[in-house]
Every structure is written in structure tokens, then in C-alpha cells.
Structure 1
Amino acid sequence: MSKNIILNHQEIEHKIKRIAYQIYETFVDEENIVIAGIASNGYVFAEKIAAALEHISPIKVSLCKVTIDKQNPTAPITTSLTVDEYTDRGLVLVDDVLNSGTTLIYAVRHFLDAPLKKFKTAVLVDRNHKKYPVKADFKGISLSTSLLEHVQVVFDNESDCAFLS
């Protein structure tokens, strides 16, 4: 299988900065927000967004790692923050690729058990193959791909990339 690069390192950096600005505009009245990344690549992406957001805004960011069994999304979900730490706060749920929406919708459901001020989602790549009624509020790129194609995001310091295989 051949790999077609859809986003190179520089393009990913640009998308991260743009998403950070969109989050800042959305949460401009907040002093603190939570950026919750779905392990493992979603959390790496969340870290990058949080760093960019803290660089451009006065908003204090709390990072939260969300661990979900992608093979069994109905299994209990764990988070690195307690419910009290994100109750009554703005929250952005982050993943690298939105494919069928299964992972994102089960993660969204987990956070709905706590009252949040505002809840948004962010992804680097939206594949437009939704099985569930879930959307990304902030996205780096939208792709119309075939179900046989696979999108992979690699975060590797200065050689980050997203490719289609």
C-alpha cells in the first residue's frame, strides 16, 4: 500500500494554531478550560493545542487524558481528571481522526454526566464517514475518503504528518 501525505509537519502546525485561535474565540470569556484528549494520539494533539492556546491567550488550560477502549467503547472510560475538576467548566474533547464517530460519541457521553459550561469537539482529520450524529466543532481538514482507505496521524516532533493509505 502506498502512503499519500495529506498533511505535513508545517501544515499540522498551522492547523493547531488555527484551532487554538478558534477555541480562544469560543471560550474568550473563560478563565479556565479543560482540553481532554482521547489516548493516545488525541491526547498528543490535545497537548499541542493546549500549548498553542496558552501561547496566544490568557486562558489557563487543564489537560485531561481520556482512556477509552476503542474495540469496546461501551466499557468504562477513565479520565486523568476527576469529575469535580471539569464540572462547570468549558471543555474541548480532542481526537486525531474522526472516522465513524464511535469513539467520539462515547467519550462525549461520558462527559455529559457532569454539568459543563460549554462543550466542543476538535479533530485534526474529519473523514466524513459518520455512523453516529457527532460532528467536530473545530477541525483541521475534512476528507471524503473511501471506507477502504485508512488515515493515520504520526506525531514525531519535527516530522509530524498525516497520511492516507
Structure 2
Amino acid sequence: MEIIPHKQVKQKIKRLAIEILEHNYDQEVIYLIGINNNGFRFAKLIQKEMQSMGSAEVRLINVRLNTARPLEEDITLSVDVDTLAGKTLILVDDVANSGRTLFYATKPLMEIVPGRLEAAVLVDRTHKMFPVNVDYVGISLATTLKQDIQVDLDDGRAFAVELN
């Protein structure tokens, strides 16, 4: 069942971009750190919106981790983590469920002291099992544990969020 159609997904991306810029109005550079595939796609869409507004430089970084077994493989960033010290970092994913993915995605960032570390998601579910706070939320949903959220952000297709 589709819960957010293409037009509303685009509106939420724009609103999140505005919120991030408003909250970080004093920053010259903002780093969006997209998690794996969908989180990175979502970060890229936010970056595009933010750049169209032109008030800050927005740099995109990819963080890769095994979400099913986060301790079995290295968690890697597409840049040297030392270059992020003292910077404004926004961790971006499509869905926050238990908070585990966001929690482990911060592991490489524990080697530095960022200026600010925040999180942005398109869909925030209410099943947090980790001490994770999401600062920028497209939509917050109370779902059952058995339900699944599917986010389609593929280029060239209609964006959608579905509840299964």
C-alpha cells in the first residue's frame, strides 16, 4: 500500500533541505553522509535541493556497512574521516526503524570530534532500540513490528514509500 506518492516525497525532500539549511544557516559547508544505497540516493536528492537554494556548499559522502551484521565487516566512508573533524555532518538514511543502522554508521565518526552531528530520514518508525535521535524527519509512522517500509528512490522512476 502506497503511503507517500511521488509528489509528496519530492515535497518532503525540499522541506528537509530547507530545515537543514535553516538549522545550519551559519555553516559554509555541510556534509551529507548517506548510508548504503537508498540512504546515499536520499542524501543526493537533499543535496540537489540544498544546492538550488545556494546558501551553503553541500558535500556528499557515502558510508558503507553491513546492516544485518554491522560488526562482521568494516564500516567505511568515501573520504578520510580526519577531514570531517570539526565539520557539520548530517547522517542520512531512508528509514529509521530500530536505530541500529544509524547507530553503527556513526562508528567511523567516533575517531574524530565533529562540530555537529545530526540525522535525517525520510521515514522515522517508532521502534527505537538504540539511543538514536533523528533531527530531520519526512514522516513519522507508528507501525507494527511485522510491517515493512519500502522506499523507492531510483533515478528515472516515480519515488514512493510503501507499507507492506
State the TM-score, normalizing by the size of structure 1: 0.94
Aligned equivalent of 1:93: 91
Quote how far apart the aligned CAs of 1:70 are: 0.6
Post-superposition Cα deviations, 1:135-154, rounded to whole Å, max 9, x if no partner, equal 21001000000011000101
Distance in 1 of aligned mates of 2:112 and 2:47 = 22
Quote how far apart the aligned CAs of 1:158 are: 4.3
Percent of pairs identical after alignment?
A: 38
Q: Does 1:72 align with 2:69?
A: yes
Aligned-CA RMSD value: 1.1
The one-letter code of the counterpart of 2:2 is I
Q: Does 1:14 align with 2:28?
A: no
Determine which of 106, 109, 127 is the counterpart of 1:108. Answer: 106
| SS of residue in 2 equivalent to 1:129 | coil
Aligned equivalent of 1:38: 35
- List, as ranges, runs of 4+ consecutive aligned residues in structure 1 with deviation greater than 3 Å: none
| SS of residue in 1 equivalent to 2:106 | helix
Aligned equivalent of 1:163: 162
Contact 1:31 1:60 in 2 (8 A): yes
Alignment size in residue pairs: 162
Distance in 1 of aligned mates of 2:86 and 2:30 = 10
Q: Which runs of 5+ in 2 are unaligned?
A: none
